[in-house]
């Protein structure tokens, strides 16, 4: 396997404009894996140059989400680092300096037309765009433009895109991509508020921060050539560009977006990092699942811990094709990881879900037993109250019908129940070993099947038609309560 041997410097560079979703989580993960695999640095950079879209608290939620996944970074706004500051709004002088440099070298120009902001005539805008976003000010003398700028005239800075020729940029997943310059715009580099747009900021920062590998999703492919031009204009070497494909909605129709969240959440499918945990998913499962969307290791291996991923991740095995999300596979991984947890760990993770379900969990020993009983039966932590809430109830209320055995009358069932009670009361303990045979014998003596006996017990003890095995259940509930619930079942049958 080919590995990147030299330590990389990679960055995850989100903008704090809302909640962090899974796609971002995967991009961050890939960055992290590469950094840890090569002994390099993983940098968190906040791209907050759009003040209008800034969302308070987004940065905090982002960091929490990444930590929840198990990712940490070596440099960032919270931990500092030699290449800071790590928030772009705190770096504005840098961008001004570099954009001015471009202007002076004739590779960018001041533009004074306020076309796109409050254009009312849509046709005007359209025609402007037809001319490839080239402002008439492109050919204005710099001295003249400088005077206008000095006079406080509102302006933006645009890149002076060559009008002929072509450019080739290289993506590590797809290879060379060549486009004709004529299809490219004189893109705005600096807004009238003096802050840079993404295109300028990403190039300047990646260069200044010594980024060796830039990972971002494929939605950036269309503007990739522009970034190539910017690197050329500055005379800088480019990092290795890696554009993993985007996520598609589960139905494969269109890219996964924040707008889809609500509908998906209703189906129990979270897409925001901060939702997975409270929806009952384990970070281990989410990491494993997400890593495998657009990346694979070989033709069989699918289970990867974070350590495995750090060791085995490789850019070469990234797929260029968009991928639809398969949430049932996430459930599969979640069940898998739940099953590998030690019981004490599972119990600890289960506790908040029982409490959220309204159950008082004050017996740690019992919680441990419940966790053990439920372990192989859970695909999701959030199912715990529904599947095992009865363990924590003082009383259960079985449906009378459920206590009546198949092809049996209420009376026969009651008679059976009384025998069961007598037998259980005389049992030395609830272990399968000592209790199973007597109960089976009882069924046989009464001309019934073992299923009748166990069925009654299950329903009387749990008021559920499915539960952990009866013996295990009885042990957890305890003799006193078991007998209590059996008697109550008999009582219910008496009144049918």
Partner RNA sequence: GCCCCCAUCGUCUAGUGGCCCAGGACAUGGCCCUCUCAAGGCUAAAACGGGGGUUCGAGUCCCCCUGGGGGCACCA
Residue of 407, 260, 384 whose CA lies nearest to 334: 384
- Residue 308 or 472 with smaller CB distance to RNA: 472
Question: Which residue reads 């041997």 in tokens?
Answer: 5
Q: Could you tell me the CA-to-CA distances from 279 to 286, 358, 377 in Å, in that order?
A: 12, 16, 17
**Burial zone of 70 (CB within 10 Å; 0-12 exposed, 13-18 middle, 19+ buried):** middle
DSSP of 111-127: E---TTTS---HHHHHH
DSSP of 9-26: EEEE----SS--BHHHHH
- Residue 120 or 495 with smaller CB distance to RNA: 120
**β-pair partners for 178:** 168
- Residue 56 or 362 with smaller CB distance to RNA: 56
- Smallest gap from Cβ 470 to RNA, in A, equals 4
C-alpha angle 393-277-344 in degrees, rounded to nearest 5:
55
The residues carrying an active-site annotation are: 258
- Residue 182 or 360 with smaller CB distance to RNA: 182
What is the Cα–Cα distance from 398 to 493, expressed in whole angstroms? 10
- Residue 113 or 368 with smaller CB distance to RNA: 113
Residue of 11, 469, 442, 42 whose CA lies nearest to 205: 11
DSSP of 257-311: -GGGHHHHHHTT---BHHHHTTTT--HHHHHHHHHTSSB--SSS-----HHHHHH
- Residue 35 or 374 with smaller CB distance to RNA: 374
> Is 258 annotated in some ligand binding site?
yes
- Smallest gap from Cβ 429 to RNA, in A, equals 14
Contacts 24+ apart (CB under 8 A), 464-471: 464/390, 465/402, 466/387, 467/387, 467/390, 468/373, 468/374, 468/377, 468/388, 469/432, 471/430, 471/431, 471/432, 471/435, 471/436
- Smallest gap from Cβ 181 to RNA, in A, equals 11
- Smallest gap from Cβ 15 to RNA, in A, equals 4
Neighbours of 351 (CB within 10 A): 17
Residue of 333, 361, 330 whose CA lies nearest to 250: 330
Strands 108-111 vs 240-242: parallel, antiparallel or unpaired:
unpaired
> Is 125 annotated in some ligand binding site?
no
The DSSP letter of residue 245 is P
**β-pair partners for 272:** 21
> Is 164 annotated in some ligand binding site?
no
Strands 247-248 vs 156-159: parallel, antiparallel or unpaired:
unpaired
- Residue 360 or 437 with smaller CB distance to RNA: 437
The annotated binding site for Zn(2+) is made up of 111, 113, 135, 139
């Amino acid at each position: 396997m080919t590995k990147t041997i030299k330590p990389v410097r990679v960055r995850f560079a989100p903008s704090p404009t809302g909640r962090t979703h899974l796609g971002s989580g995967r991009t961050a993960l890939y960055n992290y894996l590469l950094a840890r695999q090569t002994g390099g640095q993983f940098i968190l950079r906040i791209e907050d140059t759009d003040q209008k879209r800034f969302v308070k608290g987004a940065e905090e939620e982002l960091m929490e989400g990444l930590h929840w996944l198990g990712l940490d970074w070596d440099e960032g706004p919270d931990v500092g680092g030699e290449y800071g500051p790590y928030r772009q709004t705190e770096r504005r002088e840098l961008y001004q300096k570099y954009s001015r440099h471009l202007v002076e070298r004739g590779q960018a120009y001041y533009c004074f037309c306020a076309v796109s902001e409050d254009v009312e005539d849509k046709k005007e805008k359209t025609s402007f765009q037809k001319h490839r976003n080239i402002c008439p000010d492109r050919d204005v003398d710099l001295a003249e433009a400088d005077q206008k700028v000095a006079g406080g005239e509102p302006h933006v800075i645009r890149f002076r895109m060559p009008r002929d020729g072509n450019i080739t940029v290289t993506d590590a997943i797809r290879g060379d991509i060549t486009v004709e310059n004529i299809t490219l715009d004189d893109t705005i580099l600096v807004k009238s508020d003096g802050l840079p747009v993404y295109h300028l900021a990403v190039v300047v920062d990646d260069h200044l921060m010594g980024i060796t590998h830039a990972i971002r999703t494929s939605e950036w492919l269309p503007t990739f050539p522009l970034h190539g031009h910017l690197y050329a204009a500055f005379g800088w070497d480019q990092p290795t560009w890696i554009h993993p494909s985007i996520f598609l909605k589960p139905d494969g129709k269109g890219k996964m977006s924040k707008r889809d969240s609500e509908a998906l959440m209703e189906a129990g499918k979270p897409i925001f990092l901060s939702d997975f945990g409270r929806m009952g998913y384990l970070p281990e499962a989410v990491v494993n699942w997400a890593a495998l969307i657009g990346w694979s290791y070989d033709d069989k291996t699918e289970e990867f811990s974070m350590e495995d991923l750090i060791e085995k991740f490789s850019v070469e095995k990234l797929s260029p094709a968009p991928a639809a999300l398969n949430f049932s596979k996430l459930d599969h991984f979640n069940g898998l990881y739940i099953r590998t947890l030690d019981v004490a760990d599972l119990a600890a993770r289960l506790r908040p879900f029982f409490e959220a379900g309204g159950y008082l969990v004050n017996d740690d020993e019992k919680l441990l037993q419940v966790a053990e009983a439920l372990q192989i039966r859970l695909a999701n932590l959030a199912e715990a109250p529904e599947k095992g809430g009865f363990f924590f109830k003082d009383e259960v209320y079985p449906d009378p019908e459920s206590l009546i055995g198949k092809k049996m009358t209420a009376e026969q069932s009651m008679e059976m129940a009384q025998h069961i009670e007598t037998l259980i009361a005389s049992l030395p303990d609830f272990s399968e070993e000592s209790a199973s045979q007597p109960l089976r014998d009882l069924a046989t003596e009464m001309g019934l099947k073992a299923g009748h006996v166990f069925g009654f017990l299950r329903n009387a003890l749990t008021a559920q038609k499915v539960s952990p095995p009866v013996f295990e259940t009885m042990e957890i509930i305890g003799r006193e309560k078991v007998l209590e619930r059996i008697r109550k079942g008999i009582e219910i049958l008496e009144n049918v």
